[in-house]
Structure 1
Amino acid sequence: MKGRIVFLGNNVRDEYGQAALFGDLSSAPVTMEASRMCDAFGLLSGHDIEQADAEQAYIQSPLGGTETYIRLPKELQPDSWKHMRDPVCKLVMSLYGHPDAGGFWQAHCKNALESVGFIEVSESWQSLFYHPELKVMMAVYVDDFKASGPVEALKKAWTLVRSKIRTGAPTPIGRYLGCHHNVVELKDRRVIEYDMHDFLEQCVSHKKASTPFLDEDKLPEEDDNEPGKLADAACSVLMKVLYGARLARFDLLKAVAGLASKAEDLFVRLFADADFAGCRDTARSTSGVFLGIYGKNTFVPVAAQAKKQSCVSHSTPEAELVAANLALRTQGLPALEVFDKVCGRKVKLFFEKDNNTAISTIKA
């Protein structure tokens, strides 16, 4: 049985008892593309691929940024604290759960590797390092280290790394990021097989198929109208399959993308309305705005706004147009930019008004 002491990141207060805010120092683990580049380097003649895990990775790195003090559970408090009513101590190392722990661990790891001769190969592929002298490439994903290069040089590289970072003993590449790596020796070449079978088995029981694509014309229409057996867990299953596809099963990418587009057709709905000369003192109207995400089984309120207009409208349609401008400019268009980037596709925005004259003016 294993246990881990963690920092309760959901219960952090500042000196005034308010929710504490940190600098949000983010980490950037190695990308899948960079990881595969490391694999490719290890397939060269005379090269090999090995891996190792950092031991208690985060707490190897000092915690910087805002000073943090913690309460220890009573069973972990030393006897010298017994006379204290509510003792606290300063958090010195990057304890799991702290919002900035991952960022400080990555910075510590980067500094440690660079101190023994490694260089980061690209700003775009962070956490991928190369040792020019030893000709060894190393990919780092949080506490998982993968190195490839000449067999003899790997031993020296691991010695250098382990002089700065505590890791387990290096082993031949096996399971890395949920994928079994099998290096196969053929007659005239070496290849690496990515086995995602165990990972995908956790997602859903699947039938053998000769191709991931189906002739949609042969699918009955009722399939689109009736909820599937995995409807409640569809998004979770989809993300796991997508991970497997991105890591090792490129042949599934198009099929997964098609499946993702069917998960639920989400759209954005924006409402705008206005009264007419509602303020007795200034005769100005008030704009009302509401923005939400909608779907067959989805409703998420995103934004609401009530704002007195900065001009005096001479009619109800004029006030409605001012409200429409506020809604589209401050909520609708910015939301579309965000959703387009997040979803990776165009998301529909439906704009709702209840004044026919204003609607005709907008359409014109």
Structure 2
Amino acid sequence: MPELAEVSRIVHFIRQHLVGKTLSKVSTQNDDIVYGKAGTSASEFQKAMEGKKIVGAGQQGKYFWIAMSSPPHPVMHFGMAGWLKIRNADTYYYRTDKPQDKEWPPKYWKFLLETDEDPKTEAAFVDFRRLGRIRLVDCPAEQIRQFSPLKENGPDPVADKDKVTKDWLSGKLKSKKVPIKALLLDQANISGIGNWMGDEILYHARIHPEQYSNSLTDAQVKELHSAMHYVCSTSVDLLADSEKFPEDWLFKYRWSKGKKNASPTLPNGERIAFLTVGGRTSAVVPSVQKKTGPVAKDVKSEEEDGTQNVSKRKRGTVPKVESDAEASEEEPKPKKAGSRKQVQPTKKASEKKKPEVDTTTSAGRRRSNRLKK
């Protein structure tokens, strides 16, 4: 699923290619899930957007919006596999060499935008799994975050850096008794942190993902706060381009889980283990991330129970949508540019997590090395 950094990347491209331009044509395809479950319809979206000027774009965690010259404004969530394509712009954060990815209009589009300039700019929201959400929020653009679904979500560690202080984080941790990884993933607490970012933050903070949040020492809270801002700010500044991520990041070495005879390790030889925490597969380096306090008793190691199984799926397969809650799913390993197969782990029923505060559905996605800027 696109996390805070990946969503920040698309906001960057919206500002670069669309802000300041008027939409001469808006095409939509009816979808009672992508639009309907967010409380709007394709026709309402078309009517609200066509003929208006795009004046801005913003983000709170995994949500982003396009500010129009007058209300209402579209507020969107990619789910697990959604994205916004801009024709002739490298917006994607992973490489692809498939001919169908270069077609226009792209397959599985939900809306198409065309500007009135010459040459025109074209953009498309695509989602082959129908787990993204497109809604309209009728309010002044500067008040979007005061309305649902954003008002129910926690602060964004980059956009709200002044709010996400050490004292704020300490109070949040002490108010709950849940595994620290689960707390980080709960969008009601903090917006934008997903599976890989949560693991990266805990690795740099040297904190075990199983440990209860209210058991962390003041020193650990300080390290967690520092690691959170470091990982979030760095990945956003680099536009989610993983090829530019620091070489000592766990992200670079965590993707061999499930491969036959694979033994994921860091360059220094330290082993990477995989645990199921709060229904999510977590990468952890046991030699670095020690258990220093009480841990959740229902957490078990995947290495112990032998549940490291993956399955391959063909691109474009649309699974049945089961609910309108943002489901948790382990992330697949990035593929190298030019490869033609992608590996996607099979989601186990036991690994489903409870719905987050927002009503976005997500279940599964493909991933590979991100594009350079």
- The structure with the largest strand share of the pair is 1
Whichever of the two has the greater Rg, that structure is 1
Instruction: Determine which structure has greater relative contact order: mean sequence separation of CA pairs < 8 Å that are 6+ residues apart, divided by chain length.
Output: 2
**Shared fold (TM-score greater than 0.5)?**
no
Give the alignment's TM-score, normalised by structure 2. Answer: 0.20
Give the alignment's TM-score, normalised by structure 1. Answer: 0.21
- The structure with the largest helix share of the pair is 1
